Amino acid sequence: MKLLTLFGGALGAALTVWLLSRFGLDHVLSLLEQAGWGIVVVMAFHLIQVLFSALGWRAISGATVPRPSLGDFMLLRWVREGVNNLLPVAQVGGEFVSVALLRRRGVSLVQATAGTVCDLTMEMLTQIVFTIAGLLMLLHLLGRSQVTDEVVGGLGVAVLVGLAFLGGQWLGLAKVLESGLMKLAGQFGWNGMGEIQGLHDALLALYKKPRNVVWAAFNQMVSWLLGAVEVCLALHYLGHDRGLGAGLVIEALGQAVKAAGFVVPGALGVSEGGFVVVGGLFGIPPAASIALALIKRLREIVLGLPALAVWQWMSHSWNPIAAETPGGKTIAYREAELDAALDDGSAS
């Protein structure tokens, strides 16, 4: 796996160098200089996406005891993105980090794992919907082309993967994993693995709360759609204004290309090439498309490096939630009780 990651990284770096040399590094740098402080505005705008992603994650995680605050989930989402964007972890290492940090916050292993897996599933399924929306917009604006045919083929694979991931959870994949880990823990004397027992039931319990699922999906879709606004904002500062429809297509297909290039650390070079292809459909010069991709890459670095530092701080200094109310129960516990009561009321 390490060899594959190194090969993917080298290939991505080579592709990036080729793109810059092919379409003019000086031209790309002049466009970035033209954008100036607008790049900072684009970076700040991304924090709104982080907020909606955190709202969706907290919703699908349900009323855990204790229940981390929205601020906690925003920090976790920030760290999760930083790990996935900057470390060679195939874009999923941030989820493992999040589970470990939730445990430090006092959430049990099974609850933290179930909530994070459900959030990852919702993110995957809503991205498929978002990509379909981008494809339909592309067909509406430009009609059928070789790009749309290739996107349809890729979407078919993505839908199958998404359904398999969700179906596996429903059909007992988590129970098989849970059973295997329990056996290994017994054989090797691992401590703490007993907490994973009940993962399958915990996953199903979260999916069986339609209010939470709908709210989580809504917030995830808002986050994806805000990415389209971010693209339009960046193109404005680069001097190549395009409508929201074009921004939707560029972001949807760009994110799909990035997801497909998961074997390359940070999808280096893959994202840049994808933006050149998709941007060209709307008459955006290759240099401007590369500059757009680099603004996104710069945002990942500027926001991601502090996130990695915050991860280290949280790993050593984040304490369990233990603020008590006069009744002797924690605030998070009372909040969880209220959410559970609301869920029961909506179910009835």
Write out pLDDT tens, residues 98-122: 988 998 899 988 898 889 989 999 9
Q: Output the 3-class SS for the chain.
A: CHHHHHHHHHHHHHHHHHHHHHHCHHHHHHHHHHHCCHHHHHHHHHHHHHHHHHHHHHHHHCCCCCCCCHHHHHHHHHHHHHHHHHCCCCCCHHHHHHHHHHHHCCCCHHHHHHHHHHHHHHHHHHHHHHHHHHHHHHHHHHCCCHHHHHHHHHHHHHHHHHHHHHHHHHCCHHHHHHHHHHHHHHHHCCCCHHHHCCHHHHHHHHHCCHHHHHHHHHHHHHHHHHHHHHHHHHHHHCCCCCCHHHHHHHHHHHHHHHHHCCCCHHHCCHHHHHHHHHHHHCCCCHHHHHHHHHHHHHHHHHHHHHHHHHHHHHHHHCCCCCCECCCCCEHHHHHHHHHHHHHHHHHC
Question: What was the pLDDT predicted at 325?
Answer: 45
Number of domain units in the chain: 1
What value does the mean pLDDT of the chain take?
79
Q: Which of 54-58, 171-175, 341-345 has the lowest mean pLDDT?
A: 341-345
Q: What is the pLDDT of residue 80?
A: 94
Residue 343: the pLDDT is: 54
* pLDDT-above-70 percentage for the chain: 68
- This prediction's pTM: 0.80
Q: pLDDT higher for 275 or 185?
A: 275
Q: How confident is the model at residue 95 (pLDDT cuts 50, 70, 90)?
A: confident
Q: What domain range includes position 302?
A: 2-347
Asked if the model's pLDDT at residue 265 lies above 80, the reply is no
- Which tops the pLDDT comparison, 235 or 342? 235
Q: How much is the average pLDDT of 27-54? A: 89
Which pLDDT value is given to residue 189? 43
pLDDT of residue 324: 46
Region 133-137 average pLDDT = 88
Q: Who wins on pLDDT, 340 or 124? A: 124
Residue 269 has pLDDT above 50, yes or no: yes
Q: Identify the pLDDT of residue 160.
A: 73
Per-residue confidence (pLDDT) for residue 91, from 0 to 100: 64
